[in-house]
Amino acid sequence: MEWKTSQQPVAYDEALAFMDERVKAIHEGRAPECVWFLEHPSLYTAGTSAKEKDLLDSRFPVYESGRGGQYTYHGPGQRIAYVMCNLKARQKAPDIKKYVRDMEQWIIDALAEFGIKGERRCGRVGIWVVTPEGEKKVAAIGVRVRHWITLHGFAVNVAPDLSHFSGIVPCGIAEHGVTSMEELLGRAVPMADLDEALKRAVVLP
């Protein structure tokens, strides 16, 4: 497994091109699996289930992503983890649902290192926390599989501008808000600290 970290924001098209090429290389046995930590410039992405009405204000560029899910926001202060993992090589019977559950646990375990209790919710993909204002999402998940090799992954809100989420209905869920590690803890969390926690907590099939 290669761990790759980009220190500067990565254009979305560039990230998609990298994932496409790496998945092809993994499939052909030319490259190892990869987890890529990065940030994007502010943008919205539309998953395969995105509904046009959920794009409320296209203040940022909008990209068709090809991943599962609906609309989401990416931007500075958000840790993206793109995971290119060969499920066929790791599992006797490739199981995408198990892969997503493992990814949820991975995020939950990493957040626990900071004293944040992340939780699953039935029917709502992502990681949720209970706040005085109600349940809020702290991490989003969206995956795609090609040749039983995964693309895309998850996004943890470390310290993004939360007002940028108001241009969409995040993941099609209007009744619950979004939050960040910074908002929950009342202090800044260095991105590198989360990266190290994610490496320690990694859960893959």
DSSP letters for the chain? -EEEE-SS---HHHHHHHHHHHHHHHHTTSS--EEEEE---SEEEE-TT--GGGB----S-EEE--SSSSEEEE-TTEEEEEEE-BHHHH-SS--HHHHHHHHHHHHHHHHHTTT---EEETTEEEEEEEETTEEEEEEEEEEEEETTEEEEEEEEESS--GGGGGGB-GGG--SSEE--HHHHHTS---HHHHHHHHHHH----
Please check the confidence at residue 68 and state whether its pLDDT lies above 90. Answer: no
Band of residue 119 on the pLDDT scale cut at 50, 70, 90:
very high
The whole domain housing 192 covers: 2-201
What pLDDT shows up at residue 204?
84
Among 34, 85, 122, 171, the one annotated catalytic:
171
122 assigned to active site? no
From 43-47, 80-84, 120-124, 141-145, the region with the lowest mean pLDDT: 120-124
CATH number, position 94: 3.30.930.10
pLDDT tens readout for residues 33-44: 999 999 999 999
pLDDT tens readout for residues 44-63: 999 988 999 999 999 999 99
Number of domains making up the chain: 1
Please check the confidence at residue 122 and state whether its pLDDT lies above 90. Answer: no
